[in-house]
Amino acid sequence: MGTDLHDQRYRAVEARDPRFDGVFYTAVRTTGIYCRPSCPARTPRTENVQFYASAAAAQDAGFRACRRCRPDTTPGSPEWDVRADVVGRAMRLIRDGVIERQGVDGLAEHLGYSSRHVGRMLTDELGAGPLAIARSARAQTARILIETTSLPLADVAFAAGFASVRQFNDSVRQAYDLTPSELRRRGAGAQQAVAAGPLSIRLAVRQPFASEPLLQFLADHVVPGIEAVDGRTFARTLRLPHGHGVMALTLLDSHVECRLELDDLRDVATAVGRARRLLDLDADPMAVDDVLAADPLLAGSVLREPGLRVPGSVDPFETAVRTVVGQQVSVAGAQTVTGRLVAAVGERVSGALAEQHGLTHVFPSPEAVAAADDEAFSMPKARARAVRGIAGAVADGSLDLSAGADRAETRAQLLALPGIGPWTADYVLMRGLGDPDVLLSTDLVLRRVLEAHGVDARRSASWAPWRSYAGLHLWRTVTNPEPAPERTTP
């Protein structure tokens, strides 16, 4: 690492700047621990500090997580959602649990490179290879289960993705300098945890966090049977690698409370990752707001609603179908039509959390939609063909909507399908694949705003790489305008 970069990061540590939590990690040679930059402990001397790009790299180098600042619980690096290169795609796939299900060879196959090449790229950038990164993620999942449930530790080991109890014990001790039993005794609320029923997990959020607009968007687009909103809680069903699940997310200003009920506990990490993607929790709101506030057109909206999040997706295929269904119909109409499709070919779910929120189905798989009878599609024939086209393409592998998809290739694949135009393709990239830099310039509302203010391509380019957020702010100026000042009489 260059001296200038080391000095910049050390200044962030001196300032205990939380903006850099999850962006890099501070390891202290004299203590053998690593911390988040905002750790409240005494600042170490600069010559004793080593910086790492990932928690996995710090752990791989022999450092243990600080018990005070718990760096392994920080939001993920926003860099992986911005980057469209192989490393960014790899990190998105690892977060979605691909290595746990398919190994490093499966990860490499998704990316189109050899396992050796993928390992070399990740090690060069992050200081750790794919196995070390996945092992670090498994240790974090294990810690969540140890501290929030009373599951037998052997069950925790396999639920977190470890191949053996011995590997589980060794990895937890290496990461936290505590045995699993010691972690459980220290865990806050462990006495109240129960083996049966929903898991309760606290999801970290970078501040500021505009939770109200995000919750309102989700509430406005609820599809009956698979989603529900009750107060500040958004609940929905999930299709996961090992079965079905239900999550209930309570959006608070400081964090998100996540309750999970899963058919198979091996899906914990995947479900948490999808919750984070849905709520855009790994975004860097200060970086976004700094760029957008520099433009007078956006500055007022940024000031009113700092930390605005772009709603994401738990299932890009579902997002693609819902986007097509919503073409040229009202939001309410799209909700009704999608709900009928779900009731016709979706699989039923059960459980306490589903019953509590009135959830009955999971969104159907691509194979089920592609094979559905015509009666399941209560929509114009052209739109039904478009939905079938997406489902068939995902099912046969000609359309990649995975977490690590090459976004440019996916856009081209979408545009090659019948009934899919630029707006639909770009909307799927923005919400389904979490692309932070999509400006829906063909959207009717946005086009009117851009034309009214004379915004050309050069000006909108200055909003990169956060044009998805810029578009959301512009939408908000129309759908949620600033109240006019009250007029006073002399």
- Is pLDDT larger for residue 42 or for residue 147? 42
> In whole angstroms, what is the distance from residue 90 CA to residue 67 CA?
29
> In whole angstroms, what is the distance from residue 372 CA to residue 344 CA?
8
Query: What tens digit of pLDDT does each residue of 82-114 get?
Result: 777 899 899 899 988 899 899 999 999 999 999
Query: What tens digit of pLDDT does each residue of 69-86 get?
Result: 988 877 777 777 777 789
Active site residue 282: no
Q: Measure CA 434 to chain center.
A: 8
Beta sheet of 64-65, edge-to-edge order: 49-52, 25-28, 33-35, 64-65
Q: What is the pLDDT of residue 364?
A: 98
Q: Give the pLDDT band of residue 225 (cuts 50, 70, 90).
A: very high
Is 334's pLDDT higher than 70?
Answer: yes
- Is pLDDT larger for residue 192 or for residue 11? 11
392-412 mean pLDDT: 96
State residue 481 phi and psi, 5-degree precision.
-65, 155
For CATH 3.40.10.10, the residue range(s) in the chain are 3-73
- What is the CATH number that goes with domain 3-73? 3.40.10.10
Query: Hey, what are 344's tokens?
Result: 């016709």
223-238 mean pLDDT: 98
453-478 mean pLDDT: 95
> In whole angstroms, what is the distance from residue 303 CA to residue 290 CA?
10
pLDDT-above-90 percentage for the chain? 75
State if pTM tops 0.85.
Answer: yes
Active site residue 443: yes
Annotated catalytic residue, options 81, 290, 443, 456: 443
Query: What tens digit of pLDDT does each residue of 258-308 get?
Result: 999 999 988 998 999 999 999 999 999 999 999 999 999 999 999 999 999
Q: What is the pLDDT of residue 188?
A: 53
Query: What tens digit of pLDDT does each residue of 10-67 get?
Result: 999 999 988 888 889 999 999 999 999 999 999 999 999 999 988 999 999 999 999 8
CA angle 136, 137, 141 (to 5 degrees): 120
Annotated catalytic residue, options 4, 21, 35, 280: 35
- What is the CATH number that goes with domain 197-423? 3.30.310.20
479-484 mean pLDDT: 70
Question: Using CA atoms in the order 408, 429, 398, 386, what is the torsion angle rounded to 10 degrees?
Answer: -130
For CATH 3.30.310.20, the residue range(s) in the chain are 197-423
Q: Give the pLDDT band of residue 487 (cuts 50, 70, 90).
A: low
